[in-house]
């Protein structure tokens, strides 16, 4: 057990370093964790030896997977059903534009200009089209946009884009079988039944030290996740749908959401994001940087060309439309999930994975920095202090009413 405790201490030491870097440079914690993982892969390999972090250890992969599932669930639970009903046309239009045009453009560019085979190119297009739940969700929390109609519409658009990503992965790279049909029926039943069962169960047995709520949610999320992987899909797909289904009940239980955020961000997601960064081959990226820059440029241009006019069409000002476009250009969470899916299923090689993830990390950095520096719509910021991502002091805040934008 000594080796396991030492290895766990090393992981949390790197996670602490990533949190400090996130505060120093004012970037997303998820992004800093990926970068720390990338740097650790070079430094630790040079000083100590290869695979110091033992990223293929079963317990590390389990913690990383649970972190991705819970983070995805929390993002879905942030959706406001009332706002989505009012803004669904804008959210769906922005989300679909953010997925289809960039995925097709990046896939075509990868095949015709970089010379990749069609299947790796298609997977690259899907991965680069994804919008980062982690980055957008963190920005929403930091500025308080998650409590405004504007921010909730962006989160809903992210849901549409990333839903397209996961569905495309399932349809293109996973054959439709009887297992897929069982998964679809089960997810539909959970989507319909959980909103009825969950509030009644929590009302009767919740609010106690036993934390029944957390155990019940983990049972549902991990159970549906295992069914998804059994069917050849991704565990995050049912998590996102369940989060959206429970947005009207669990999403409004701020104390429960804060507890789940603490466990997810503080304990679990560092394993996922640092592992994703650690698997990137820095020497391969340095040897062939053109692919990274190429994908970064194509992704950004196709996002601007598709999302900006749609946002303008739905009444956004230039600054609001550009801010929406740049946030929708931020790739990370589902992009790395899709890339890891491709690597683990033999669709892409290690060098292609490294190029792809490095480009995705670039999309998480540049668009977000430019958006917050030059296009932040300050007139839409809530009057109160932004909500603490871990929920400290949240009880002192007045909720923003539906429709309040300034």
Lowest mean pLDDT among 280-284, 338-342, 362-366: 280-284
Q: pLDDT by residue (tens digit) across 46-74?
A: 888 777 888 889 999 999 889 888 988 88
Residue 127 pLDDT more than 70?
yes
- DSSP three-state, residue 346: coil
Residue 389 lies in a domain: no
pLDDT > 90: percent of the chain: 30
Q: Give the residue among 45, 46, 47 at the shortest CA–CA distance from 55.
A: 45
pLDDT of residue 384: 59
pLDDT of residue 392: 42
More confident residue, 156 or 365: 156
pLDDT of residue 387: 46
In this prediction, residues 159-172 reach a mean pLDDT of 81
Burial-class residue 175 by CB neighbours within 10 Å (0-12, 13-18, 19+).
Answer: exposed
Which residue is it, tokens 């931020």? Answer: 330
Residue 403 lies in a domain: no
Residue 210 lies in a domain: yes
Residue 404 lies in a domain: no
Residue 400 pLDDT more than 90?
no
What CA–CA distance (Å, rounded) separates 313 from 163?
23
Residue 110 pLDDT more than 50?
yes
pLDDT of residue 104: 94
Residue 396 lies in a domain: no
Which residue is it, tokens 């290869």? Answer: 50
Q: Which two tokens stand for residue 277?
A: 């960064």
Looking at the structure of the chain, the number of domains it has is: 1
More confident residue, 404 or 115: 115
Residue 395 lies in a domain: no
Q: pLDDT by residue (tens digit) across 218-258?
A: 999 999 999 988 887 778 778 878 988 898 888 778 888 88
Residue 24 lies in domain: 2-381
Confidence of residue 279 (pLDDT cuts 50, 70, 90): confident
Q: Please give the mean pLDDT across all residues of the chain.
A: 83
Residue 386 pLDDT more than 90?
no
More confident residue, 168 or 193: 193
CB 224 within 8 A of CB 183: no
Q: Residue 406 contacts by C-beta under 8 Å, 6 or more apart in sequence?
A: 379, 380
pLDDT of residue 299: 93
Confidence of residue 399 (pLDDT cuts 50, 70, 90): very low
Q: 340-349: long-range contacts (C-beta < 8 A, 24 or more apart)?
A: 340/276, 340/279, 341/123, 341/169, 341/173, 341/234, 342/120, 342/123, 342/127, 342/173, 343/279, 345/173, 347/119, 347/120, 347/123, 347/173, 348/120, 348/123, 348/124, 349/120
In this prediction, residues 87-108 reach a mean pLDDT of 92
CATH code for position 88: 1.20.1530.20
Phi, psi of 11 (to 5 degrees): -60, -45
More confident residue, 300 or 207: 300
Confidence of residue 174 (pLDDT cuts 50, 70, 90): low
Residue 197 pLDDT more than 90?
yes
More confident residue, 230 or 383: 230
Residue 390 lies in a domain: no
Residue 355 pLDDT more than 60?
yes
pLDDT of residue 388: 46
Confidence of residue 362 (pLDDT cuts 50, 70, 90): confident
pLDDT of residue 303: 95
Confidence of residue 397 (pLDDT cuts 50, 70, 90): very low
Residue 402 lies in a domain: no
């Amino acid at each position: 057990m000594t080796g396991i405790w030492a290895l766990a201490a090393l992981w949390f030491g790197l996670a602490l370093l990533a949190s400090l870097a996130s505060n120093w440079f004012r970037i997303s914690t998820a992004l800093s964790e990926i970068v720390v993982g990338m740097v650790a892969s070079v430094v630790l390999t040079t000083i100590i030896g290869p695979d110091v972090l033992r990223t293929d250890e079963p317990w590390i992969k389990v913690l990383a997977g649970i972190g991705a599932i819970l983070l995805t669930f929390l993002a879905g639970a942030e959706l406001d059903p009332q706002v989505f009903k009012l803004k669904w046309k804008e959210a769906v239009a922005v989300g679909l534009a953010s997925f289809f045009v960039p995925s097709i453009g990046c896939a075509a560019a990868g095949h015709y200009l970089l010379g990749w085979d069609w299947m790796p190119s298609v997977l690259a297009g899907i991965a680069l089209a994804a919008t980062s739940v982690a980055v957008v969700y963190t920005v929403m929390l930091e500025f308080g946009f998650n409590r405004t109609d504007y921010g909730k519409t962006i989160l809903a658009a992210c849901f549409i884009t990333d839903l397209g990503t996961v569905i495309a992965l399932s349809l293109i790279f996973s054959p439709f079988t009887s297992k897929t049909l069982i998964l679809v029926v089960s997810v539909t039943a959970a989507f319909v039944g959980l909103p009825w069962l969950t509030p009644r169960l929590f009302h009767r047995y919740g609010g106690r030290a036993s934390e029944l709520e957390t155990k019940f949610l983990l049972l549902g999320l991990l159970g549906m996740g295992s069914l998804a992987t059994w069917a050849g899909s991704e565990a995050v797909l049912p998590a996102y749908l369940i989060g959206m289904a429970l947005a009207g009940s669990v999403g409004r239980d701020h104390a429960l959401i804060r507890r789940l955020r603490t466990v997810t961000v503080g304990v679990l997601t560092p394993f996922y994001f640092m592992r994703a960064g650690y698997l990137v081959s820095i020497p391969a990226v340095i040897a062939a940087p053109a692919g990274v820059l190429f994908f970064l440029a194509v992704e950004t241009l196709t996002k601007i060309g598709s999302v900006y006019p749609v946002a303008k069409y739905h009444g956004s000002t230039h600054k609001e439309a550009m801010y929406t476009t740049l946030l929708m250009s931020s790739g990370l969470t589902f992009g790395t999930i899709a890339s890891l899916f491709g690597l683990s299923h033999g669709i892409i090689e290690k060098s292609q994975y490294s190029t792809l993830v490095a480009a995705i990390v670039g999309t998480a950095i540049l668009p977000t920095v430019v958006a917050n520096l030059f296009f932040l719509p300050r007139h839409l910021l809530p009057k109160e202090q932004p909500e603490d991502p871990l929920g400290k002091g949240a009880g002192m805040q007045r909720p923003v009413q539906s429709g309040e934008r300034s």
